[in-house]
Amino acid sequence: MGQTVFIPREVDANEPRVAASPETVKRLAGLGFEVIVEKGAGLGSRITDQDFAAAGAAIGKAADASKADVVLKVRRPTDAELKGYKSGAAVIAIMDPYGNDAALVAMAKAGVTAFSMEFMPRITRAQVMDVLSSQANLAGYQAVIDAAAEYDRALPMMMTAAGTVPAAKAFIMGVGVAGLQAIATARRLGAVVTATDVRPAVKEQVQSLGAKFLAVEDEEFKAAETAGGYAKEMSKEYQAKQAALTAEHIAKQDIVITTALIPGRPAPKLVSAAMVASMKPGSVIVDLAVERGGNVEGAVPGKVVTTENGVKIVGHLNVPGRVAASASLLYAKNLYAFLETMVDKATKQLSIKRDDELVKATMLTDGGKVVHPNFAKAAEAPPKGQHVEPAAIPATVIVAQASANPAAKKTPAKKPAAAKSPSSKSPSSKSKGTA
């Protein structure tokens, strides 16, 4: 008898994505699995129960999780869901483990072998499994669409007999996967685009997309990237110099999109209240890091805030979920590609190779214990229901509190004050994806 894969309907009302597609259901069946999809699981992503059934899945109910050997999810399972899983089941999802030690302990006590897809190493072999990239790519696209909707003017330059409509100026802060897609999308819509990042390697990528790169390019800048390709935390001196440069630039922009995140840390503050105040009425800022505390001072999770000077700060949650029909197809493929590596092709049984580099990088719990080295202290989790965020970053990564006055560039920068951070909303409540 084959093993069972269960695809639940996400219990979070704000999560429309689903962890399977008709294509991956067919492929899972081909690996030897019996696939059960909870009734209505795909409706938020425009996938009907009939679509899943036609691909070979059985349409079931939440209680069917109790017989599953593998559970594929979008978000980390809740305590209530864990009670319905059998001990030893493999659970694969976007786990958002940082700051959620109690949830890790709960998964360990439930006896499940939990894998965090956002920990997938960025190596050639795992490219097709890279959840952060697949979801951040769509988040970057949607950020521009959301900005255009709030901007209420044309983005491209239009020359007509009645006069010329100037092109909108868009500034992308943070050039990871989301940032690059935001640049490309804004350029396709006709905006004049500039972008900034502390990693020198992205300058060429920005320019290849037809945008202008903006940064203080000193010696510190040249070494500002980790071995894994993420941004390093910059010195206060660099932050002050970059602050003066970006403050002057932001005042001239129509659209600003911020995408900066550091794994396991609250989002760095990039845009101060003074910078927001320097922008023209009708300008738009989209904060893709709002679920981790936000890159923009004044951003509110789940809200579009209009400031006193008429600037809109967009803080939509779960931005990939705003294009769920596309996001689910990519995410389902990520999950399938990873699960396939753990299936013995001869016996068609789940066979987790615990010495495999992908397994070691992503496995959070196993055999009743928290096993990931990043969470060795998870057993000391706070009482149930008490959420503890990681320690705040002592200084911002790119922009310190600085005057929005263009003259700031001409005078010695003052030592930046610590920026206040808006309260963070736990994103697992989150996806992930912006990177």
Tell me, what CATH number does 285's domain have? Answer: 3.40.50.720
Determine which one of 127, 208, 235, 351 is catalytic: 127
Please tell me which residue in 46, 51, 79, 122 is annotated as part of the active site.
122
Q: Say if residue 369's pLDDT is above 50.
A: yes
SS3 of residue 421 by DSSP? coil
| Helix boundaries (H) for 292-364 | 324-340, 357-362
| Residue partners of 136: CB distance under 8 A and separation at least 6 | 176, 177, 178, 181, 259, 320, 432, 433, 434, 435
Q: Same domain for 397 and 260? A: yes
Q: Are residues 206 and 279 in the same domain?
A: yes
Same domain membership, residue 315 and residue 330: no
| Catalytic residue list contains 429 | no
Determine the Cα angle at 33 with ends 28 and 36, to 5°: 85
The answer to the question of residue 420 being in a domain is no
127 in active site: yes
Residue 29 pLDDT > 50 = yes
Active-site residue flag, 122: yes
The CA distance from 119 to 369, in Å, is: 18
Sign of CA dihedral 385, 390, 392, 396: negative
Task: Encode pLDDT of 35-81 as tens digits.
Answer: 999 999 999 999 999 999 999 999 999 999 999 999 999 999 999 99
313, pLDDT greater than 60: yes
Distance CA 397, CA 419 (A): 11
Establish if 223 belongs to a structural domain.
yes
342: nearest Cα among 79, 140, 135, 69? 69
Report how many domains make up the chain: 2
Output the pTM of the full model: 0.83
pLDDT value at residue 15: 97
> Which is the catalytic residue, given 49, 188, 205, 230?
230
**For residue 218, what are the contacts with CB-CB under 8 A and spacing of at least 6?**
238, 241
Tell whether 125 and 231 lie within a shared domain: no
Q: Residue count of the chain, please give it.
A: 435
- Residue at which a domain ends, from 360, 380, 400: 380
Verify that 39 and 173 share a domain, yes or no.
no
- List the structure tokens of 119: 């920990």
Please check whether residues 300 and 341 belong to one and the same domain.
no
Active site residue 181: no
pLDDT tens-digit readout, 164-207: 999 999 999 999 999 999 999 999 999 999 999 878 888 999 99
87 is catalytic: no
Out of 96, 101, 130, 287, the active site residue is 130
Share of the chain above pLDDT 90, in %: 73
Pairwise CA distance, residues 313 & 304, whole Å: 6
Structural domain including 352 reads 4-129+322-380
Structural domain contains residue 433: no
Residues 278 and 397 in one domain: yes
| pLDDT classification of 226: cutoffs 50, 70, 90 | low
Q: Is the pLDDT of residue 387 over 50?
A: no
Identify the band that residue 229 occupies on the pLDDT scale cut at 50, 70 and 90: low
User: Token pair of 393, please?
Assistant: 């970053």
Phi and psi dihedrals of 104, rounded to 5?
A: -65, -45
d(CA 19, CA 7): 6
Q: Which residues contact 248 (CB under 8 A, 6 or more apart)?
A: 404, 406, 408, 409
Q: Is residue 86 part of a domain?
A: yes
21, 116, 133, 253: the catalytic one is 133
**CB under 8 Å to 360, separation ≥6 — which residues?**
354
Strands laid side by side in the 369-370 sheet: 58-60, 34-38, 4-7, 70-75, 90-94, 113-116, 363-366, 369-370
Same domain, residue pair 371 and 398: no
